[in-house]
Amino acid sequence: MIKHIVMWNVHGDTPDEKRDAAIMIKTKFESLVGQIPGLRSLEVGLDISRISYACDVVLYSEFDDEAALQRYAEHPAHAQLRADLEGVRIARHQVDYVC
C-alpha cells in the first residue's frame, strides 16, 4: 500500500477567503472518491490551529500500489481538479511512502 500525503497553503486576503478556498479544495478532492481505481481512501482536513507555520489543508490518501498512485495522478478527473485549483494553492508539500 502507498500513502500519499499533500499539504497546501491557500491564497486569500482575509481569513474568510482562505477558509473558502480550503473548503473548495476539500470538496473537490472528496468528489474523487469512487472515481479512480486503486484509490482505497481519501481524507481532507482543514487546519484549525491557525499558527503561522501551519499549512491550511492536508490530503491523506491510500492507494493499492505505486501503479494506482500513478493512475490517480494521470486520471482526467484529477487533472481537471488540478486545473480548477490553479492559483488557489500557493504552496505545496508532498510525501509518498510504502506501508
Q: Which helix (H) or strand (E) holds 93?
A: strand 89-98
In the predicted model, what is the mean pLDDT of residues 14-26? 95
CA 76 to chain CA centroid, Å, is 15
Is residue 54 predicted with pLDDT exceeding 90? yes
Annotated domain spans of the chain: 2-98
Q: Is the dihedral of CA 51, 55, 58, 63 positive or negative?
A: negative
In the predicted model, what is the mean pLDDT of residues 16-40? 96
Mean pLDDT score across all residues of the chain: 96
- Enumerate the H helices of the chain as residue ranges: 15-30, 66-74, 76-84
- Contact between 8 and 56 under an 8 Å Cβ cutoff? The reply is yes
pTM assigned to the model: 0.93
Angle at 44 between CA 65 and CA 51, to 5 degrees: 125
What are 12's three cell numbers? 486569500
CATH architecture of the region 2-98? 2-Layer Sandwich (3.30)
pLDDT at 50: 86
- Contact between 77 and 32 under an 8 Å Cβ cutoff? The reply is yes
